[in-house]
Structure 1
């Protein structure tokens, strides 16, 4: 995946970009245990005090399982989220300062020294596997989204040879995956490739789908393992 990350390491720029993250927004934390086990968990960004600390909601105990033993002082974590109105993925590495039980269970992180931002509008592609139903010329197929960017996606459709003959390149997608169920996108087919027992389609999203695409990218970036 091409990298368009820009590291922010001056105090004022770091604080300014961190301030773009909205309290209550969904982020993920990546944790690696001393034994090399890796976990990725959704949680909520609460806020920060400049040069002091960052506050995160403690992940749901039912999902974090045995990793709860490693959410202790000094443990390194990577935090990722999306700044929606900027159309950017933000990430930083920190370590746990302490955990709090009151007023609610939270993780206190050391204030990061650097922060990276990747502009989704630069069309970085994120690999993913999401089921979607597609409509082309009033016919429907089940498909798999194999990668996605702010501008388009790649689809895999089994036994879809007749798609190679379509004249109308318009395509509609409806997500068929959990909390994204029935999220709708539209676009134009810009490439077709015949594979063994499948067709690969390159799709360019319409401008009208921009908000839905950002919502989908937010889900993808903060997806738990």
Structure 2
């Protein structure tokens, strides 16, 4: 892989945490991403749930989907003015956990159920990775007990990768050992990215997971990276025909 063509580079040293202000914090959560929310009542009672980030407006409002809970919990916890802690994942580049506290501004049940919060004054970013991950969109397979699960390799680094598939399929457990096989249809080469599942969540109707490679997985990942080229948007397999054509032109000149 020609890293000189990479649009973003890793700086030699980074702090693991930093603070961003106001609306800038919203740029670090992708629309449709599932986040973890915790309502804290004035008496210290807590309710944890998952919800999807919808977006924000120019009037400093944040919008989240409403979780499916019992009526009793709605009545006890979803009250305007209660504090709420939110954590979301920023997946691009180095990757970061975005954490901030705000409060419940509005609870809307009709015609669409939506939670509305004020934009926080600041948020904390906690870096999750030691190196940049590069965006991909390569098909792959994970061998299950009785069949293969078709997945998409969404990003990769030398130590791990992300993948996704339709949320209707099964779930993987944290620390579950898997092998994600990626095949280059132009060369028929196969790369076995082996390791353990580290995290998972639902995003835009898909299950998305991160995995960390073991030593054999790292070795096959290095082989895979050598076959990729940046096309202006993401990394794709190099076309060996184009490479041969370029070499022939060079030899004739």
TM-score range, shorter chain: 0.5 to 0.7
Among 6, 16, 41, the alignment partner of 1:4 is: 16
Equivalent residue number for residue 91 of structure 2: 84
Residue 75 in 1 paired to residue 102 in 2?
no
Following the alignment from structure 1 to structure 2, what is the Cα–Cα distance between the partners of residues 80 and 205?
33
The structure with the greater share of residues assigned to helix is 1
Alpha-carbon distance, 1:106 to partner: 0.8
Among 24, 38, 52, the alignment partner of 1:30 is: 38
Equivalent residue number for residue 147 of structure 2: none
Query: Is the partner of 2:129 in helix, strand or coil?
Result: helix
Alpha-carbon distance, 1:119 to partner: 1.2
Check conservation: 1:186, 1:205, Cα contact below 8 A: no
Equivalent residue number for residue 187 of structure 1: 214
Check conservation: 2:83, 2:101, Cα contact below 8 A: yes
Q: What's the Cα RMSD here?
A: 4.3
Check conservation: 1:39, 1:67, Cα contact below 8 A: no
Check conservation: 2:25, 2:122, Cα contact below 8 A: no
Following the alignment from structure 2 to structure 1, what is the Cα–Cα distance between the partners of residues 24 and 221?
29
- Which runs of 5 or more residues in structure 2 are unaligned? 1-14, 132-157, 161-174, 176-192, 202-206, 225-253
Kindly provide the CA deviation profile for residues 101-125 of structure 1, in whole angstroms up to 9, marking residues without a partner as x: 23421111011100111111248xx
Equivalent residue number for residue 215 of structure 1: none
Q: In the TM superposition, what are the counterparts of 1:3-152 in structure 2 within 5 Å?
A: 4-9=16-21, 14-62=22-70, 66=73, 68-86=75-93, 87-122=95-130
TM-score w.r.t. the length of structure 2 is 0.47
Following the alignment from structure 1 to structure 2, what is the Cα–Cα distance between the partners of residues 91 and 183?
19
Runs of 4+ that moved beyond 4 A: 174-180, 182-185, 203-209
Larger radius of gyration: 2
Following the alignment from structure 2 to structure 1, what is the Cα–Cα distance between the partners of residues 16 and 109?
38
- Which runs of 5 or more residues in structure 1 are unaligned? 124-149, 156-170, 190-202, 210-225
Check conservation: 2:47, 2:77, Cα contact below 8 A: no
Q: Are the structure 2 counterparts of residues 122 and 71 from structure 1 closer, same or farther at C-alpha, using a change threshold of 3 Å?
A: farther
Following the alignment from structure 2 to structure 1, what is the Cα–Cα distance between the partners of residues 55 and 199?
30
Following the alignment from structure 1 to structure 2, what is the Cα–Cα distance between the partners of residues 103 and 119?
38
Aligned residues: 151
Kindly provide the CA deviation profile for residues 121-170 of structure 1, in whole angstroms up to 9, marking residues without a partner as x: 248xxxxxxxxxxxxxxxxxxxxxxxxxx958xx8xxxxxxxxxxxxxxx
